[in-house]
Amino acid sequence: MARLKASRGFTLLELVVVLAIGVTMYALLLSAPFGKASAGDLKAAAREVASGLRTAQSTAMATRRDALMTIDMESREYVTTGAPMVRRLPSNIDLKLFTAQTEVESDHRGSIRFYPDGSSTGGRVTVGSGERKYLVDVDWLTGRVAINQDE
């Protein structure tokens, strides 16, 4: 009777298992945020802030009363008059608010006010992560909301 020698090497099943583990680890590594938001997430957050500002302007014009968008930069939350639900932005996005001194409530909380004629106190919300930033500007005279990418 002849004995078969054990071959040196790996079986196909062992190779497939190792490759599957490698692919899984690679996918997890690429999806980890590393503290920075992706370009798409950043742009989506800027659009969401702009939408909230436009909602506040529309509410002021429709109700003929002042309307606010109040932003808490620390908790990354905002609320608008007419939409009482508090909205939250992702935690890996940084917010900065430049607004009229009369609208500043604290070091990390302030508002942009819209008037019934569509005008506003004006201001800027900077939505950023790392070096990338979007500037959501509100014109004080017209109340126009525009998103610009900071170079």
Residue 132 near residue 39, CB atoms below 8 Å:
yes
Q: Is residue 136 part of a domain?
A: yes
Q: Is residue 13 part of a domain?
A: no
**Looking at residue 143, which CATH number applies to its domain?**
3.55.40.10
Name 103's Cβ contacts closer than 8 Å, sequence gap at least 6: 68, 110, 111, 112, 113, 121, 123
| Tens digit of each residue's pLDDT (9 = 90 or more) over 21-53 | 988 888 777 665 566 778 889 999 999 999 999
Query: pLDDT band at residue 128, thresholds of 50, 70 and 90?
Result: very high
Q: Is residue 28 part of a domain?
A: no
Domain hosting 65: range is 39-150
| Tens digit of each residue's pLDDT (9 = 90 or more) over 73-126 | 999 999 999 887 999 999 889 999 999 999 999 999 999 999 999 999 999 999
**Domain count across the chain:** 1
Alpha-carbon separation of residue 111 from 24, 27, 42, 71 (angstroms): 44, 40, 21, 6
Q: Is residue 5 part of a domain?
A: no
